[in-house]
Amino acid sequence: MAEWYAHIGQQQYGPVNEATLQSWVGQGRLGPYDLVWSPGMAAWSQAATAFPNWFGQSPPPLTSVMPPPGMPGVPGMPSAPLAGMKPHRGTMILVFGILGLLDFGCLPMVVFGILAWVMGNGDLREMKSGQMDPAGMGTTSAGRVCGIIGVVLAILGLIVNLVVLGTAFRNGFDFPMGP
């Protein structure tokens, strides 16, 4: 079965099979003017050209009109997930990442950094494959980076603390006090 790639809006999805593309048409995610490509094709093609039986008569695309309210990526407009997609968790991942940065050697806080890192990786993978709303990609990426930095700083803090404790044990906790 052929692998297909789709370019919808400003995001590329795939590889997916033909049945998935057809289900996206039924969900309204893939329109006749979105681009598709499969290995063996010389160039990207409009979906209506590649699959003429999937689309009825439709007007040509509007090029200079703002998307309706609620479409992802429109500044100042609330964003709703596209049909058939999971909603993104970008805000939660960003909050977890920031909490992970604030650990100051506190073990429970580093857990937030780990969660931001792991959840961010999974959500970005789902966004790139077309399973999750890509509107939160920037927020998710920022939270993931904060989580990674928080975990690295926690590890470095642990190493410094172990070196200080090791030095203290070696010196018998005999630190000079005063002049």
- Number of neighbours of residue 138 by Cβ within 10 angstroms: 12
pLDDT of residue 5: 93
Domain definitions of the chain by residue range: 4-54, 90-170
Question: Tens digits of per-residue pLDDT, 30-62?
Answer: 988 899 999 988 889 999 889 988 887 655 555
Mean pLDDT, residues 125-145 taken together: 88
Best mean pLDDT range from 53-57, 110-114, 130-134 = 110-114
pLDDT of residue 139: 93
Say how far apart CA 98 and CA 178 lie, in whole Å.
40
Alpha-carbon distances of 162 from 63, 95, 98, 104, 167, rounded to whole Å: 61, 29, 25, 15, 8
Q: How confident is the model at residue 17 (pLDDT cuts 50, 70, 90)?
A: very high
Say how far apart CA 139 and CA 146 lie, in whole Å.
11
Q: How confident is the model at residue 121 (pLDDT cuts 50, 70, 90)?
A: very high
Least confident segment among 11-15, 68-72, 120-124, 155-159: 68-72
Q: Is the pLDDT of residue 80 over 70?
A: no
